[in-house]
Structure 1
Amino acid sequence: MSRLRVHTKTITLILIWLAVATHVQAGLFSIPDLGKSLQNIATGVSKDITSYIPTPEGIFESSKNLVAGYPFEVTSSAINSICSSALSSQTIRSRVTPDLKEMQFQLRTSCNKYSYPLLDANQLWRGPEFDPSKKVVILATGWTTTVNNSDTIDMLAKAYNCRGDVNFVAVDIANYVATLYTWAALNTDEIGASLAEGLYVLSQIVPLENIHLIGHSLGAHIVGAAGRYFNYKTGKLVPRITGLDPAKPCFNEGHVLSGLQRGDAKFIDVIHSNPGVLGKRDPMGDVDFYPGGLDPLPKGCLDVVCAHGRSWEYYAESVYPGNESNFMAKRCTSQTRLLENKCPGADSPMGYAVSHELRGNYFLEVRGAAPYGLGANREKIGRQATCGLCQEKKEE
């Protein structure tokens, strides 16, 4: 999209020339002065305009977002406003009340899945399959996904099991995020409060600094609420929450559903892959990453569902050993300035190895197909295909 925009400098030069012409008419400048200024403007424009001629790829990406991206952004914004207003007036109430007895934690090893009741998390944390000497990653997924029917959980579990130094746990919230979206949204706060109780038990067994919460879509708001309620209960903050394209509709700071927000953890990093449509566009964390910029559809995606899922695909790729620097980003004000090399400062990794000292908005380029990171080594990626899988199944 940036290559189709007329450069600001060009517009400024034209406006200056128009101002000069006005002054000539008023008798303040002479015709020779005007001719010289016109020549200078033409020279400047001719030097500048070549870098803004659209490429075929640029035309396709821009057209794709105009047809299948931005119209959905307008619709999403309207739905978001209506939903927030309805929630504020209490005209919408969840008809599906979460039954905590049905919710579970599911520990994923390379070969097995072990499920334990959310209300009796001690069974899991003290079970033989759980290793208290390792770090703990807890993932909550989004709308219409369940623990045994989620590519998000499967891919992230595989990536973390490849590392081998983490207990990877998925939150099985039954069908309480598979209901009508507005009901599911209303359930996020209550589910987060219940998750916080499980975190409290876990923090008695595992050092708090070893706990990392990750949430995709509605799941990002669930773990945000969990971090908030854990803080209310203990006065402490979990060290890190990662939000993967946090859901946009119905969630607005200061309204009934605020969702994930700064202060829910010591450090919050957010990856936006479908900004403004299914995912939030505004910064929400200590550091917010915009792979591909603010366009609703990143490279390789022709619909918003694909775009919404790219956030966890990017993150999962970064988890594998050796992939920590696949996604290098710069603090910047826009993707346009990034492409123009006008973003000062050092590159910083997005994803698994993010620095907890980062603050602000970071932009980066990505590929349209896996491996998505520009720093990816294809040979290394190929070797990771079986990493994290059950050795018994591989031998079969």
Structure 2
Amino acid sequence: MRVPNIKKFFLLLVMSYLSVNSLQFSLEKTLLSVKDIGKAAAKNIKNLLPTPKDIIEESKKLLIRYPLEFVSNTINEICIAALFSETIVPKFTPDINLLQFQLCTACNKYNYPLLNAEDMCRSPEFDSKKKVVIFATGWATKVNDSKAINALAKAYNCRGDVNFVAFDTANFVDTLYTWSALNTDEIGLNLAKGLVKLSNIVPVENIHLIGHSLGAHIVGAAGRYFQQLSGKQIPRITGLDPAKPCFNEGASLSGLMRGDADFIDIIHSSPGILGKREPMGDIDFYAGGLDPLPKGCLSVMCGHERAWRYFAESVYPGNEENFMGKRCTSMKRLRGGKCPGDNVPMGFAVSHNAKGNYFLEINDKEPFGKNGDKTHMNLQRECGLCTN
């Protein structure tokens, strides 16, 4: 891809965030590809890489002239080049003693050290006969102030047949994005150690891992390491718009991939920008197609968040078929009635026998599922909340 005036564009992106006054690129008369930019940046900025959120938010005025996906691809190539050149190392090494499981009930949240998972299982608030859903959040998300955790906890507590547990990464994915990305593999290893403890009390077939953004790559690593440590396989991992920047199959950071669990389902809501575009699971849902800004969204962060909002909506009793997708290759073919085959529910009730890429329409506001009902949604507003 060739883009004119790239010097001005790139300097605005990088220097705005790094304040590296000495950073100079002799690009005035050279037109560089995205990969060329990444390599040039990696040689100059060492471990002071810009974060995707900052670049995208601060670069809105540039997007009139430069495609949003180009910005995202540039970030990705910078990260890849830096990782391969070993110019960055994790700034904060995860301390397993600081990582915790947080059991979320309708009325309270209870924290337990990751390696003392048996203490959580002994809690009167924990029912070892129920399934366990463990949710890992994304970048720059704090466990005690997370809309995603609160939304999913409320939905599962409404169902009442699951122990919903948030995974507290102790701010190790709340640092500069590139350091956070590098930490995902080690955090996943530590999570796997906690899962081994948990599986001594809860049958492994009752464990479901869910991750959003960087959290999707954390649970993917946890699934791989759990297999190594226990010889068993997690039955299901759900990836909610797995993070794109820095994660590329076959590279230093591969992220979530098929085989990390017996069944992997993916919901893409910001494909090609903050989330991965390519298929990653046994079944991949493209809600609204390949548009990085779903209906009703004016920012990339809105699109990135939609994945967990869709999933949370599908968890409520009666909403299991709110989102129905068809195996297809594009929204154009779907809208043209050229996608034969059965409808498959996205989210909570996904069929483990379904494979491939599925496309579906979505609404611009809640209920987001085309089969959703506003009256039914209003009745659910108090469901899953504390009644004491």
1:85 and 1:283 map into 2 onto residues whose CA distance is: 23
- Give the aligned residue type for 1:383: L
The 5 A counterparts of 1:357-396 are 357-392=353-388
The 5 A counterparts of 1:1-396 are 71-392=67-388
Q: 1:279 to 1:77 in 2, by over 3 A?
A: same
1:325 and 1:171 map into 2 onto residues whose CA distance is: 28
**1:224 counterpart SS class:** helix
Q: 1:70 to 1:196 in 2, by over 3 A?
A: farther
Cα contact 1:69–1:297 (8 A) shared by 2 = no
2:249 and 2:159 map into 1 onto residues whose CA distance is: 36
- Between 1:338-347 and 1:89-98, the stretch displaced more is 89-98
2:130 and 2:245 map into 1 onto residues whose CA distance is: 36
2:65 and 2:379 map into 1 onto residues whose CA distance is: 35
Q: Work out which of the two has the higher radius of gyration on C-alpha atoms and give 1 or 2.
A: 1
- Give the aligned residue type for 2:385: L
Aligned to 1:24: none
Q: 1:330 to 1:69 in 2, by over 3 A?
A: farther
**1:169 counterpart SS class:** strand
1:313 and 1:73 map into 2 onto residues whose CA distance is: 23
- Give the aligned residue type for 1:170: A
Q: 1:205 to 1:69 in 2, by over 3 A?
A: farther
2:317 and 2:333 map into 1 onto residues whose CA distance is: 31
Cα contact 1:68–1:302 (8 A) shared by 2 = no
* TM, length-normalised to structure 2: 0.83
Aligned to 2:41: none
- Give the aligned residue type for 2:231: G
Cα contact 2:268–2:275 (8 A) shared by 1 = yes
Structure 1 residues without counterparts, runs of 5 or longer: 1-63
1:286 and 1:68 map into 2 onto residues whose CA distance is: 36
Query: Greater share of helix residues, 1 or 2?
Result: 1
1:99 and 1:146 map into 2 onto residues whose CA distance is: 16
Offset of 1:127 from its aligned partner?
2.3
What is the total number of aligned residue pairs between the two structures? 328
Offset of 1:69 from its aligned partner?
12
Q: Deviations over 1:248-294 (max 9, x none)?
A: 00000001100000000000000000000100000000000001100
Offset of 1:70 from its aligned partner?
7.9
